[in-house]
Amino acid sequence: MWGNHRIERYVARELLFSIFVAFLFFFFIFFVNQLLLLAEDILEKQVPVGDVLMLLVYSLPSIVALAVPFGSLLGCLMAMGRFANDNEIVAFRASGVSLGRIFRPVLIIGILLTAVSFIVNDYFLPVGNLNLVRRYRELVLSNPDLEFEPYAVREFQDLLLVSGDVSGGTIENLLIIETGRRGRERVISAGEATLQEDSTQSGVISLQLSEVFVHDPVGGNAEDFEYSRASIMNYNILLRDIAFSIQSPTAREMSSVDVLAMVRTQEEDLARRRTEQRAVTDRARSDLLIRHQSIEQRLTEDTITPDRARTELATVWNRYQSERDRQIHSRTLQVNRIEFHKKFSIPVACLAFMIFAFPVGIRTRRSARAVGFGIGLFVSFLYWGAIFAGQTIGLQQPQIPASLTMWTPNILLLLSGALLFLKGRRA
């Protein structure tokens, strides 16, 4: 039985080898990029090598999630280009082997890579991101230099922190300025601050302040204020407010099932808000009709001037028109819809890339691997740009379905590959 599939196994071996080499190429690029990011934020703070390695391990799923689709494109182009360059495609065709038979292992491997990519995106990526958040939180607690540099001014979301010397989990002469209190600023100074582990509050860094002085403005007058002193005070900082942007799991850090459940909940909330808006519009229309009838009667009775009648009608009409034309959208819902479709569209890109790469690769002749490499990088760049553009359009134009913006690059690849394949069969 296996003898009947010798051609398929031969093509599959060459294809898997080329895809593996291409995967290592993209993996190395994304890994070095991640390492440089860690070097900027962590390595220069003299964090233990073991902790850095764990952060890199937790970052691997995100690296693999990007490397697999692009590796499948580049690998397939290089493998098919090698066959074409060595005239093996011509030999296959002359021996009666159809393009469909040569394409069969490409299709099967593309489906397998799509499944692998989906598992990485849907399971390992959320798990890795969550572990990355947890490990970084532990590092901040054990090494405050990561976020609290000595003798520095750090601006977070609603906070301005001015720190003195930092060593051993202790910050000396800490000044905290809160800027999110309706334009008022509360100032807290402490002679010493110590990072505390609080297992009861996830996503929070707790500071125990000593020798505390609090200056709190009262009302809108800058000259009115209250002040207080305390020997000890606990102060919490949300992790999502610090520079590392740690926050509650986003759609990217959740499985597709959880994201779908969240999307449905948000869709129900949006539907409720739109129903309420329609009710307000109906009341405004009823008020407009009642006011119109009232003004007509008052005009008949000469109790109102025409100019006054036009002014009152214009006011009611503008109120109705404003409610009627008000669009109710949810940016958060659109973001989650986009992320949900990305969890499927990017893995399916493995299959779309290979369907596109097969007819393109077999058309190359001289320097096939180099040409395939160049084409692969160029198409990868275009695809990633199309994904980014789709996200931007989807967020700016919420009336456009997220499915359309996220699946258009794959559809274009599939159509292009199918057309080139059919043209190659006729040739």
Confidence of residue 247 (pLDDT cuts 50, 70, 90): very low
Q: Which residue has the higher pLDDT, 196 or 111?
A: 111
> Is the pLDDT score of 240 beyond 50?
no
Separation of alpha carbons 329 and 194, rounded Å: 44
Tell me, what's the pLDDT at 241? 42
In the structure encoding, which two tokens stand for residue 74, read together? Answer: 């580049």
Separation of alpha carbons 161 and 176, rounded Å: 5
> Is the pLDDT score of 116 beyond 90?
yes
Confidence of residue 242 (pLDDT cuts 50, 70, 90): very low
Q: Give the best-scoring range by mean pLDDT among 127-131, 180-184, 222-226.
A: 127-131
Degrees, nearest 5: CA angle 386-327-313: 150
Amino acid at 59: S
- Over residues 253-294, the pLDDT tens digits come to 788 888 899 899 988 998 898 888 888 888 888 888 888 888
DSSP secondary structure of 122-191? IIIHHHHHHHHHHHHHHHHHH-GGGT--TTEEEE-SSEEEEE--EETTEEEEEEEEEEEETTEEEEEEEE
Tell me, what's the pLDDT at 112? 95
Tell me, what's the pLDDT at 25? 92
- Over residues 320-359, the pLDDT tens digits come to 888 788 788 788 888 889 989 999 999 999 999 999 999 9
When pLDDT is averaged across residues 12-35 and rounded to a whole number, the result is: 91
Tell me, what's the pLDDT at 427? 57
> Is the pLDDT score of 246 beyond 70?
no
Please enumerate in sequence order all residues whose Cβ is within 8 A of that of 282, keeping only pairs 6 or more positions apart, or say none: none
Tell me, what's the pLDDT at 243? 39
Residue matched to tokens 């009341």: 283
> Is the pLDDT score of 397 beyond 90?
no
Q: What value does the mean pLDDT of the chain take?
A: 81
Separation of alpha carbons 301 and 303, rounded Å: 5
Give the count of beta carbons closer than 10 Å to the beta carbon of residue 316. Answer: 18
Tell me, what's the pLDDT at 40? 61
Tell me, what's the pLDDT at 368? 62
DSSP secondary structure of 21-35? HHHHHHHHHHHHHHH
Portion of the chain with pLDDT greater than 90, in percent = 20
Degrees, nearest 5: CA angle 131-134-135: 85
Tell me, what's the pLDDT at 364? 73
- Does residue 359 contact residue 424 with C-beta atoms inside 8 Å? yes
Query: Alpha helix (H) ranges present in 42-98?
Result: 49-85, 88-94
Give this prediction's pTM. Answer: 0.70
- Over residues 302-316, the pLDDT tens digits come to 778 888 888 888 888
Distances (CA, A) of 353 to 116, 279, 305, 388, 415: 15, 49, 72, 17, 11
- Does residue 198 contact residue 206 with C-beta atoms inside 8 Å? yes
Confidence of residue 41 (pLDDT cuts 50, 70, 90): low
